[in-house]
Amino acid sequence: MLMLSNIIMAISVASLGIYFHLSIMNDEEFYNWIPILCISTYVSFYSIGVGPIPWQMLREIFPSNIRRRATAISAGLCWFMAFGVTKYYQNMANSVGIGWVLWNFGTVCAIGVLFVYFCVPETKDKSIEQIHKELNGSNPPTKHRHIIEIDSISIASS
Backbone dihedral angles phi then psi of residue 72, each to the nearest 5 degrees: -65, -45
Cα–Cα distance, 101 to 116 (Å, whole number): 23
Summarised one tens digit per residue, pLDDT across range 103-144 is: 999 999 999 999 999 888 777 777 777 877 777 776 555 555
Summarised one tens digit per residue, pLDDT across range 62-112 is: 888 888 999 999 999 999 999 999 998 999 999 998 889 999 999 999 999
The distance from CA 95 to its chain's CA centroid, rounded to whole angstroms, is 26
Backbone dihedral angles phi then psi of residue 154, each to the nearest 5 degrees: -100, 130
The closest alpha carbon to 39, from 49, 28, 47, belongs to 47
pLDDT at residue number 79: 92
The distance from CA 85 to its chain's CA centroid, rounded to whole angstroms, is 15
Q: Please indicate, yes or no, whether the overall pTM of this predicted structure exceeds 0.85.
A: no
The distance from CA 146 to its chain's CA centroid, rounded to whole angstroms, is 21
Cα–Cα distance, 97 to 116 (Å, whole number): 29
HSE, side-chain direction, 13 A CA sphere, residue 22 = 13
**What's the DSSP call for residue 30?**
T
Cα–Cα distance, 149 to 108 (Å, whole number): 31
Summarised one tens digit per residue, pLDDT across range 80-89 is: 999 999 998 9
Q: Which amino acid is it at 73?
A: I
Residue with more model confidence, 14 or 30: 14
Q: What is the DSSP string of 72-89?
A: HHHHHHHHHHHHHHHHHH
